[in-house]
Chains A and B, each alone.
Chain A
Amino acid sequence: MILYRYIAEALFYAFMILTFMGAFMAVRSQLLMHAVIGLAISLLGIAGLYFHLGSTFLAVMQVLIYVGAVCIMIAMGVMLGNTPRQLAEKNLKGRNLLLAIGSCTAVFLALFATLARTGFTPAVERIGDMSIQFVGENLLLQYCLAFELISLILLTAIIGSIILARGGRDGAVK
């Protein structure tokens, strides 16, 4: 039994490394297509983290929606609206790089300090479990508004993107 625990922990480290390696690849790469691949790798790592958090449902949804749909859509965007060779422009250098890293570190330190001085207490009693059945019941009964909002937003997004991008290649909207 203890062996399973160690394997799970090793997998957790692997997913964490996958997440951050992908994120660095997405942020630092020169070619935009490499950035998209980095995003996909990072999102797979996050799916593993969801699995560790006990929600298989969200892990599957992460792979399905993010890696399957959003990454493909961004890859299409890279290929359709191409800059020459799809370059992601030069990386920051010198003082700009220091400023960017400094401000990001400051944000992280502020969050970390807040986290370090906050104690989170677990709930006294929990209702239900993490199963898909319980999520489905909650989604369709108590949190029905969120469900309806998702569908409304997705419908609006589909119609909006079709209207925006439907003009011909010369940009004239007929």
Chain B
Amino acid sequence: MIISDNLNTYLIIAALLLVIGLYGMVQHRSLIGMLISSEFILNGAALNFMAFNTFTAPNPAVGQIYALFIMGLAAAEAAIAVSIIIVVYRRFRNEDPAIIQDMKY
């Protein structure tokens, strides 16, 4: 059975990636684990854009540009998040999100 040129296959894969990311957000108790899970959610979104781009869009460059945009956003987000996590670890000696509750003022 040929499923690789069917739009629904890719949409289901993207939905599963979103759900796995959500589960990982709930499951992980460390900030880096949550960052890793958020990458899955972003990838699901990018895969969705690409699937619609290949199968339905009139201009086949738009989806690729948007997927590239999502990749750039994810890279920026990962850079900022990792440096925030490092600062949080320095200040609290801990990166359990249940313990880090107080802000500065």
Query: Which residues of A are interface residues toward B (Cβ below 8 A)?
Result: 5, 8-9, 12, 16, 19-20, 23-24, 26-28, 32, 35-36, 39, 42-43, 46, 49-50, 52-55, 57-58, 61-62, 65-66, 69-70, 73-74, 76-78, 80-83, 87-92, 100-101, 103-105, 107-108, 111-112, 115, 120-130, 134-135, 137-139, 143, 146, 149-150, 153-154, 156-158, 160-162, 164-165, 167, 169-171
Contacts and interface: CB of A to CB of B under 8 A. Distances in A.
Contacts of B100: none
Contacts of A101: 23
B86 A138 contact: no
B20 A123 contact: no
| Chain A at the B interface: SS class | helix
Contact of B65 (A88, A112, A138, A162): A138
A55 B22 contact: no
Nearest to B23: A104
| Chain B at the A interface: SS class | helix
28 contacts: A9-B2, A12-B4, A32-B30, A58-B50, A65-B72, A77-B81, A77-B82, A77-B86, A80-B89, A88-B28, A89-B28, A90-B29, A100-B23, A107-B22, A111-B18, A124-B58, A128-B61, A130-B64, A143-B65, A146-B65, A150-B69, A154-B72, A154-B75, A160-B83, A161-B83, A164-B87, A167-B90, A171-B90
B91 interface: yes
A105 B41 CA distance: 15
Nearest to B90: A171
A50 B12 CA distance: 15
Nearest to B55: A122
Contacts of B90: 81, 167, 169-171
A171 to B, nearest CB: 4
Contacts of A35: 28, 32-33, 36
A143 B39 contact: no
Contact of A129 (B60, B75, B82): B60
Contacts of A158: 79
A9 B15 contact: no
B36 A74 contact: yes
Contacts of B24: 26-27
A128 B23 contact: no
A32 B37 CA distance: 12
Contacts of A57: 64
Contacts of A74: 32, 35-36, 78, 82
A16 B32 CA distance: 25
Contacts of B61: 128, 130, 134-135, 137-139, 143
